[in-house]
Homo-oligomer: A and B are copies of this chain.
């Protein structure tokens, strides 16, 4: 196949031409026993949690985190690199599993059209993964909304828990982009239709239940976490939990299959565990602990990723997920593209095809900051430059020289066009880094630190802020949380993904800035406190021309318009 003909193929065309192995072969390749997995169609499976019990004393494979610079409209291709790197490691003889998040239908129908890697580095079957997959998100949606229905019914039926309807924090969800549901009033129509109150819907990936599913260690832990969800406050301002409503059993029942990780494969038949997908702003942005730990028991290497840039996804992967899940990551891959670095250097999206070494030089400072962040966690890293056709030789040379001077390991990645073959350089450099530098991972803060100290640590060490401003409302919340015993939880920062600062317009490496914490939200079930540094969108809207307008299915049931 010529390079030219490849160029015009869309992700879905490449995917639909792929030859997948029956999932049975993939499961057997991981030495899963026959009763340890269940098929969902011929190319997807759910893995029983019993595997973890059988393998609890088996050695752990090396967990490698893939993160990136601050995302730009130019695109970085983090998932694509994750898949490609996994394929490359398998190609050179290392038993490797990729562990990814499940995509949300909202962005798929809205803008993205899909999110399962790209080009010759995709997870398969991409149509299924981008649509309903094995139903995990639907189960989470249902559990979330069942809780809302139980809550409103509790109030309607006499309100034994004395819930103050003005202080309900639990929202309903849909796994769609639907701005009209952001702010609603429910319970209208008179005394038979419930109690009127203000309410709102989030997208499913923003549900606390999504975060819980991804942080639970097993079914028992899942139920415990669900029990701890705070749904609102009583008239005397005490938290009301799921345990108070007595529905934790029903919610766990609704999630008993969703908590099992999903096994699929990449275009090159590398095993992939795709499970969970919380937002990386008001939640922690990583696939499930269960999936990552399971992958580490089944493979020698696990390549996993976290949402947005290293300031959000990686920080939370390391300070929240790894800590709560006892995961000991061994190295980090930091993905950047020359296009995105030039945007961080001040170039408009329209002018990215023009060589611009000055802008690249300025933009490198964004990468530099993320490298320092990874180093502060005690972890070795490789910089992965995800190649685009418009990158000039001089631009590539500049980056290589920049890394050489600083003694940073760097690799060019061509996994979109060449699959695993295009990631071998990256794979080899990663293995070299792992060999020469023992990972010495340590979270950045202690759980016993005060809420203020935790936030300050993240803001200063990860974002490069000079100070943190807690507005008076937040100071008051901190006092309340202390009195409720919530101050020993990790902090989940909600910040714009586009900038290291809390101002999305400040690209590159802003300096001298202050981070303003405007609100705290307790995710007691998930086990973290969310600190909001600005408006955080928990329900996206659709664009004027949604991707859905181009979607279709032919008479044979073949999907059209996913990409």
Contacts and interface: CB of A to CB of B under 8 A. Distances in A.
Highest count of chain B CB atoms <10 Å: which of A146, A187, A552 = A146
Contacts of A131: 253-254, 257
Interface string A133-165: 001001101100110111011001110000000
20 contacts: A38-B42, A40-B40, A105-B146, A131-B253, A131-B254, A132-B135, A132-B138, A135-B138, A142-B175, A145-B174, A146-B548, A149-B174, A153-B179, A157-B542, A182-B194, A183-B193, A184-B199, A249-B553, A252-B552, A256-B553
A244 to B, nearest CB: 12
Contacts of A109: 146, 149, 250
Interface residues of A, number: 77
A437 B11 CA distance: 59
Nearest to A562: B253
A137 B183 CA distance: 26
A257 B145 contact: no
Highest count of chain B CB atoms <10 Å: which of A176, A219, A249 = A249
Contacts of A59: none
Interface in A332-362: none
Interface string A544-555: 101011111101
A3 to B, nearest CB: 31
A548 B150 contact: yes
A378 interface: no
Contacts of A149: 109, 174, 176-178, 180, 542
Contacts of A474: none
A560 B219 contact: no
A555 B222 CA distance: 10
A256 B559 contact: yes
A293 to B, nearest CB: 18
Contacts of A443: none
A536 interface: no
B560 A249 contact: yes
A189 B538 CA distance: 14
Interface string A172-204: 101111111111111111001111000100000
A557 B49 contact: yes
B551 A253 contact: yes
Interface in A302-324: none
A246 interface: yes
A150 B544 CA distance: 10
Interface string A512-552: 00000000000000000000000000000110101011111
A145 to B, nearest CB: 5
B39 A176 contact: no
A186 B178 CA distance: 10
A253 B546 CA distance: 15
A239 interface: no
Interface of A: 38-42, 46, 49, 105, 109, 131-132, 135, 138-139, 141-142, 145-146, 148-150, 152-153, 156-158, 172, 174-189, 192-195, 199, 218-220, 223, 246-247, 249-250, 252-254, 256-257, 541-542, 544, 546, 548-553, 555, 557, 559-562
A562 B249 CA distance: 12
A541 B256 contact: no
A183 B189 contact: yes
Given A138-B135, A184-B185, A176 B145 contact: yes
Contacts of A560: 249, 253
Contacts of A40: 39-41
A255 B434 CA distance: 46
Given A548-B150, A552-B253, A187 B180 contact: yes
A521 B166 CA distance: 36
Contacts of A138: 132, 135, 138, 141-142
B552 A257 contact: no
A250 B549 contact: yes
Nearest to A181: B186
Contacts of A219: 553, 555, 557
B183 A188 contact: yes
Given A183-B189, A218-B555, A256-B553, 10 more contacts: A39-B40, A40-B41, A132-B254, A158-B544, A179-B194, A182-B188, A185-B188, A219-B555, A247-B548, A253-B561
A97 to B, nearest CB: 22
